Structure 1
Amino acid sequence: MEAVAKLRNYPTGPRRMRLLADVVRGMDVDKALSVLEHHPQHNAVPLAKLLKSAIANWEQGNDGKSAADANLVVKTIFVDEGRTIKRMRPAPQGRGYKIRKRSNHVTIIVDSKN
């Protein structure tokens, strides 16, 4: 049985989060957690937390069976664009520059190798 965890409206650009998601995709769960804990990008912290949540969801769905014994892997991870907050910044000669504050949605699916 696979388990899903979702992170919604995280305030960083989806392109930056996809770079980190590509590193973790297809890895064993233990290795992915250790990579995320030591990764310098600030997006690694919420992604590690989301992965821990997916592991807990898998354990709960499988009657408390340990995730370490089941050889869990990150089966699927994808990043979608979330809502964009639009702001205006003052610019010279009475103009305004648009600022787009982007966000993203991350979905992780973990499953056992078997």
Structure 2
Amino acid sequence: MGKRKRLVAEKRKEENKTSFFAKLNNCPTSPRKMRQVADLVRGKDAYLALNILKFNTREASGRLEKLLKSAIANYEAKSQTRAEEGTLFVKEVMVDSALMVKRLRTAPQGRGYRIRKRTNHVTLILDTKNI
């Protein structure tokens, strides 16, 4: 590894020590459906977002709820303090498209229709409110 690349990697590692996040890779939900649920909680208080996700009927909300709980646990582990109501909020939720599995569905007259089974990567970043 070159010197410049090592310096950039060390800088990124130092930033990760002070940021509280959780990642979900290759989630078998289409990115569009996940973004609709992510828009509900972006910028909200962490525990309010948990309640929103818990009572939402979409399948993607269950996966995002689990991810948010993981991010809160990461906050508690890194900062050695208990996450209290009103101190944490969802700073950023990024949903990126991931691997697309392509399948073929039979169609009339010897044709085949392509089916794309989409997946996504979700990154959830928490931050503390400065009071």
**TM tier, shorter chain?**
over 0.9
TM-score by length of 1: 0.96
Q: Which amino acid aligns with 1:78?
A: M
Give deviations 1:29-84, integer Å, cap 9, x for gaps: 01000000000111110100000000000110002x01116710001111000100
Q: What is the aligned partner in structure 1 of residue 119 from structure 2?
A: 103
Q: What is the aligned partner in structure 2 of residue 82 from structure 1?
A: 98
Q: What is the aligned partner in structure 1 of residue 30 from structure 2?
A: 13
| Structure 1 gaps, min length 5 | none
Aligned residue pairs total: 113
Secondary structure of 2:66's counterpart equals helix
Larger relative helix fraction: 2
TM-fit CA distance, 1:97: 0.3
Q: What is the aligned partner in structure 2 of residue 45 from structure 1?
A: 62
TM-score by length of 2: 0.83
Q: Which amino acid aligns with 2:32?
A: R
Q: Which amino acid aligns with 1:36?
A: L
Q: 1:2–1:112: 8 Å Cα contact kept in structure 2?
A: no
Q: 2:45–2:86: 8 Å Cα contact kept in structure 1?
A: no
What root-mean-square deviation, in Å, do the aligned CA atoms of Structure 1 and Structure 2 show?
Answer: 1.0
Q: What is the aligned partner in structure 2 of residue 57 from structure 1?
A: 74
Q: How far apart, in 2, do the equivalents of 1:69 and 1:24 lie?
A: 16
Secondary structure of 1:43's counterpart equals helix
Q: 2:20–2:127: 8 Å Cα contact kept in structure 1?
A: yes
Q: Which has the larger radius of gyration?
A: 2
